[in-house]
Amino acid sequence: EATTAVGGVRGAQTEANDVYWKGEANQLINADELAAFKKAADLAESGEMKQAQAAFAEFVKAHPDSPLRKDANQALAMLQKP
């Protein structure tokens, strides 16, 4: 699977809010969604793997249409590895 990234040019006349990832335009993440994902990621980073796993599972359940769902599923898969 190929990933395409778009970069900006310093001094460009485009506003930061106008920048988007190709194929993912207009997929906004609300503050509650982002906070829940960050909490789960912070738990994983601090070594609290069981709590992180539970937090990511809850995130997926609570936000089934989130653009972050794929990332949460990947984190869950990594946390479930022995």
Q: Can you tell me the distance from the alpha carbon of 35 to that of 31, in angstroms, rounded to the nearest whole number? A: 6
pLDDT tens-digit map of 60-74: 999 999 999 999 999
Whether residue 52 contacts residue 79, with contact meaning beta carbons closer than 8 Å, is answered with: yes
Tell whether the model's pLDDT for residue 33 goes beyond 80.
yes
Residue 27: predicted pLDDT: 65
pTM of the model: 0.67
> How large is the angle between the packed helices 49-62 and 31-45, nearest 10 degrees?
160
CA-nearest of 49, 52, 18 to 36 is 52
